[in-house]
Amino acid sequence: MGRVNALAPTGPPDPLADFRALRTPEGTELLAGLRSYDPATELATATRLRRTHPAALVSAALGQARLRQRAVAKFGAEDAHRMFFTPNGVEQATRTSVAGYRARRFTDAGVRGVADLCCGIGGDAIALARAGISVLAVDRDPLTAEVARANAAALGLDALIEVRCADVTEIDTSPYDAVFVDPARRGGRGRIFDPEAYSPPLSWATEAALKAPVAALKIAPGVPHEAIGPQAEAEWISDGGDVKEAVLWFGEGFEAGSFRATLLPSGATLSAPAVLPAPPVGPVGRYLYEPDGAVIRAHLVAGIVERCHGRLFDEMIAYVTSDELYDSPYTAGYEITDQLPFNTKRLKALLREREVGVLTVKKRGSGVEPEELRRKMKLQGPNAATVFLTRVANVPTMLIGRPVTGPEAALR
C-alpha cells in the first residue's frame, strides 16, 4: 500500500492532459494491454504498471479501460476498444443500433450534411458519417470535444467529421442540410425531467430545428406529450424491448403532429396521424397482449386494441385483452388461464398444485416486487407460468397464463 500511495499523482488533476497522454505511443500500448483486464484486480494491476509507467498515466489508462468495457454494450467490442470515453459520455451516448437507425432516416430524407449540436463523445456523428453524411460535431466541453475528435480518428472517419469546441447557440447551421440536437438531460442531481431545464432548453432546440430544412431533436422518452409542438413528428424508439429515446423530427418527409413507435432491431413501425381516442374498457378475455414500451410511450395502445378487436380491462393500465388470437411485432401475447383477486396464499397453492417451478412475474399498477413474490412462492416442479400483478376495473388482481408461441399464433 505504501508504494502505491507514494507513486500516486500529485498536484491538481488535469483531465485533458491525462487524456492526451493516452494517445501517445506509451498510452496506446498501455491501453492495448488492458483490453481484458479484470477490474477486481485493479490494485495489483496498478501496482505492477506503476513500476514502469507514470502514475497519472496508469490511473488514466485504468479508468479508460473500465469505460471501454462498459461501452461494449452500446458500441460493440470492436468499436468500444478503439474508442475513447468519459463517464458521462458512456452514460449518455446513443447505442449504435439506435444511432444507425436515425442516420438512415436522415439519408432517406436526402440529407448530406448535418450540424450535430451537443455531440458528446461522438456516437451519433459516427453513425451519420458511416451513412455517408458529413458532420459538424459541436460540444462546449473541451475534454468531450477532444474525445469526439479522437473517436473520429480512431474509426477512420475524421475526413467526414469536423469537431468544434464551441457553444452550440453560437453556431451558424445554415451551410448544413439538417440539424441534430441532443440536449444534456442530466445535471448535478441526476436526470432532468423538465424539457426547459435541458441544456440547451427544448424551446431553443425547437427554434433551431425550425430554421433547418430537416432536423431531429433527441429527448427523454418520458417527455410529456403536451411539451411536443404541433410542428414535429414524435417518434419513440425501443431496442430489444427497452425504450431508449424519443426523437422529434421536423421538415419535409416527416408528418407534423403524428406519433410513431419504432421497434429495433426489426424496424417495425406503428404510427398515427394524431392522438388516438381512448380505447374501450371491458372484462378480461382469453388473451392478454403486452404492448412494447415504445407503443405505450407514443400513446398508440388504442391502435393495438383496434387491431386485435380488443379492449383494456382497466382504463389506467396498458394491458390489452381480447378473445381473439393476434400476433404482432408490437406486442407479446399470453393466454390467460386464471383470474384471481390478489392473494399470495391462493397463488402459492395454485402454483404448487400445477407444479410450477419457473414463474415469470410481470406487473402494472401493483407495488409488489417480483423477486419478493417469487421467494414467497417456494417454487418447485417442471412447469412454467406467468403471473400478471395488475388491476382489473381498479381492483388488485392476479392473472395467470402462458406465452402464446408457435404456429398457432398466426396473425388474424
| Amino acid 195: pLDDT | 78
Q: Would you tell me how many other CB atoms lie within 10 Å of the CB of residue 51?
A: 9
pLDDT at 3: 39
DSSP letters of 263-275?
A: EETTTEEEEESSP
Query: What's the pLDDT tens digit per position in 39-69?
Result: 889 999 999 999 999 999 999 999 999 999 9
Rounded CA separation 271/150 (Å)? 39
In 3D space, the residue among 129, 143, 137 whose CA is nearest the CA of residue 89 turns out to be 143
Rounded Cα–Cα distance for residues 261 and 301 (Å): 10
How high is the pLDDT of residue 188?
Answer: 58
DSSP state of 11: S
* pTM > 0.95: yes or no: no
Residues 318 and 305: their CA atoms lie apart, in Å, by: 10
Nearest Cα neighbor of 198 from 179, 220, 213 is: 220
- Name the grid cell of 143: 475534454
pLDDT score for 191: 72
Name which of 90, 60, 88, 59 is nearest 73 in CA terms.
90
State the amino acid at position 30 in one-letter form.
L
**Cell numbers at residue 397, please?**
388482481
Rounded to whole angstroms, the Cα distance separating 395 from 211 reads 50
CA distance 190 to 187: 5
Q: Is 353 exposed, middle or buried (0-12, 13-18, 19+ CB in 10 A)?
A: exposed
Name every residue whose Cβ is closer than 8 Å to that of residue 120 and which is 6 or more positions away in sequence. Answer: 88, 89, 92, 93, 139, 144, 148, 182
Residues of the chain with pLDDT under 50: 1-9, 406-412
Sign of CA dihedral 200, 201, 204, 210: positive
E strands in 71-175: 113-117, 134-139, 161-165
Position 330: which residue type?
A: Y
- CA-to-CA dists, residue 405 to 324, 329, 376, 401, 409, angstroms: 14, 13, 28, 12, 6
DSSP output for 176-221: SSEEEE--B-EETTEE---GGGSBS-HHHHHHHHHTSSEEEEEE-T
Report the SS3 class of residue 170.
helix
Residue indicated by cell numbers 473520429? 152
- Among 379, 360, 289, 355, smallest CA distance to 327 is for 289
Of all residues in the chain, what percent are helix, strand and coil, respectively (each to 5)?
Answer: 35, 25, 35
What was the pLDDT predicted at 10? 54
- Taking a C-beta distance cutoff of 8 angstroms, is the pair 79, 96 a contact? yes
Residue 227, pLDDT score: 87
Q: Which residue has the cell 414535429?
A: 232
- Give start and end residues of each alpha helix (H) in 217-343: 293-297, 301-307
- Asked if residues 209 and 259 have their Cβ atoms less than 8 Å apart, the reply is no
Instruction: Please give the single-letter amino acid code of residue 199.
Output: S
Is 30 within 8 Å of 49 (Cβ atoms)?
A: yes
Q: Are 93 and 120 a contacting pair, CB within 8 Å?
A: yes
pLDDT tens per residue across span 365-400: 999 999 999 999 999 999 999 999 999 999 999 999
Query: Tell me: the pLDDT tens digits for 190-234?
Result: 677 777 778 888 889 999 999 999 999 999 898 888 889 899 999
Q: Which residue has the cell 439519408?
A: 107
- Per the CB < 8 A criterion, the answer to whether 117 and 181 are in contact is yes
pLDDT recorded at residue 187:
60
